[in-house]
Amino acid sequence: MGAPFLSEWPVPASVAPDKLADIQAEFARDWHDAVMQARQGTLVPPKDRRFHGAAWAGNTSAALLAHAYVLSARALERMTEAAQMAEPVRERLRFSVMQWVDAMSPSNFLATNPDAQQKLLDSGGRSLFDGLRNLQEDLRKGRLSQTDESGFEVGRNVGNSPGAVVFENRLMQLIQYAPLTPKVHKLPLLIVPPCINKFYILDLQPDNSFVRHAVQQGFTVFLVSWRNPLPSDDDGVDAADWGDYLQEGVLRALQAACDISGQAQVNALGFCVGGTMLASALALGRAQGLNQVAALTLLTTLLDFEDTGVLDVFVDELHAEARERQLGVGGLMSARELGTTFSFLRPNELVWNYVVGNYLKGETPPAFDLLFWNSDGTNLPGPFFTWYFRNTYLENNLKQPGRLHVDGHALDLHTLDMPAYIYGSREDHIVPWVSAYASTRILKGPMRFVLGASGHIAGVVNPPAKKRRSYWVGTGPDTSRLPGDPQAWFDVASEHAGSWWPDWCAWLAAKSGELRKAPASLGNASYVPIEDAPGRYVKVRAV
């Protein structure tokens, strides 16, 4: 998304003298203590995983440098909180200070990282050679390696649930998954993943595949696999806008799922941006006289963009105007830029950790399916991105009835009155859970809100067999009667150990009709299978 436009920032306000004096006094006191411990030979490194190595503990000078860094970082953070400025400006300042502080850690440089220096000596220089080779390879790829990508292949050991592509157009392929039970529910499920990344986050490996789990519960699953447009494409896909994705993508997929299943309605699930697109498409469908979805599931989805968490630092009018000039009528928002933006939301975990391991120590990161997926980004058509950026993050127009129009039809999310299952993740930094909860004030049907532990991805991808984490549900005989205040909901919610998936499956099963014999083949005479799942579109890598 790019860096915030500093030209919009007012002149920074000063820190009150008494608060500044307190910050300076704390720094001086703690620095004095660290120096005295260093002289006495009792100084240990700060309690920070970046300084946990034995070489840090055995090198007093390095430990003292680490303390200087930690104390300086704390002082900067306190000054940020004490500065007299508007809260939106403070949020941006927090983000900028975090970027600078994390980048300047002494662990990030060979000259000040004793662990990396020790490995250089122990390996006879081999770690430096391997690190330079890793750097050269990453420069060639144009991105930082976060996992051993040689361990995975889409369609072989990730994204390999059996099925077939039963429809395709310029924007998407529609996958129908093969049944894994002798009987299936009458109403199928259509999954709409985000187009900002690949769908197989919901179909990683068999033991952590949300798709496979749903199929194993007797649901007939259809899934949208969005096309990854390339600069070399010449069919105009780079000019596709939000309306195109709703009409040719979501609504067309819903029609195909209805046609193949022989049902007037299906159930539908949207994840992240896919949920925003799904709800928008359903509102568009209502305006066109369509009512194709019986029950709706939204996972970590924003419909109300009032609070977008840390992403708000990228949102302003100048940024929107610059993107509209650059991409408003065509062109691609690159996967590389999108990936870099999201990685720097958590720079220590997703950037500097790998700089140290890959380059300073010459290590190859371990194979990890989720990080393989994270590195497999997608490009976005410019008009789609600019419409989405302005009308959601900047102006929050989507929640306003009738403010937005697609193909002459007014969008009104308040017309969506089907039963809805709304899920948020408690530590989500992309979709704050209170913002996921805000959808309960927009949708009008009976609703069940569930809050899972962990973050945006790990909270969602939490298979029951792992017996990890927990989730919260409302209490009382009618959990669909939700309070307006999310904290009021949480204060009386009950926590349950393990995955939320069984709770969702039970909810969906009650809304999916009776069980009937599973179909012997995929598609039908009008939707002849084109190729085996996962299809061609998901295998296209961004350049």
Contact 252, 278 (CB under 8 A): no
Token duo for residue 142: 């144009």
CA-wise closest residue to 444 among 479, 396, 412, 398: 412
Q: Can you tell me the distance from the alpha carbon of 222 to that of 185, in angstroms, rounded to the nearest whole number?
A: 13
CA-wise closest residue to 305 among 315, 317, 296, 295: 315
Q: Can you tell me the distance from the alpha carbon of 88 to that of 94, in angstroms, rounded to the nearest whole number?
A: 10
DSSP state of 414: G
Other beta carbons within 10 Å of 404: 23
Q: What does the radius of gyration of the chain's CA atoms come to, in whole angstroms? A: 25
Token duo for residue 288: 């066109």
Contact 252, 285 (CB under 8 A): no
The amino acid occupying position 454 is S
Q: Can you tell me the distance from the alpha carbon of 390 to that of 520, in angstroms, rounded to the nearest whole number?
A: 46
Contact 176, 522 (CB under 8 A): yes
How do strand 183-185 and strand 221-226 relate by DSSP bridges? unpaired
Q: What is the helix (H) or strand (E) element at residue 222, kind and residue range?
A: strand 221-226
Token duo for residue 143: 């991105």
Q: Can you tell me the distance from the alpha carbon of 103 to that of 83, in angstroms, rounded to the nearest whole number?
A: 22
272 is catalytic: yes
Q: What is the helix (H) or strand (E) element at residue 276, kind and residue range?
A: helix 273-287
- In order, the DSSP letters of 440-504 are GGT--S-EEEEEESS-TTTTTS--GGG--SEEEE--SS-TTS--SSHHHHHHH-EEEES-SHHHH
258-to-214, 254, 391, 451, 523 alpha-carbon distances in Å: 18, 6, 30, 31, 11
- In order, the DSSP letters of 1-26 are -----GGGSPPPPPBPHHHHHHHHHH
Q: Can you tell me the distance from the alpha carbon of 113 to that of 357, in angstroms, rounded to the nearest whole number?
A: 11
**Is 426 exposed, middle or buried, given 0-12, 13-18 or 19+ CB atoms closer than 10 A?**
middle
Q: Can you tell me the distance from the alpha carbon of 201 to that of 484, in angstroms, rounded to the nearest whole number?
A: 32
Token duo for residue 521: 């083949």
Other beta carbons within 10 Å of 54: 10
Catalytic site positions:
272
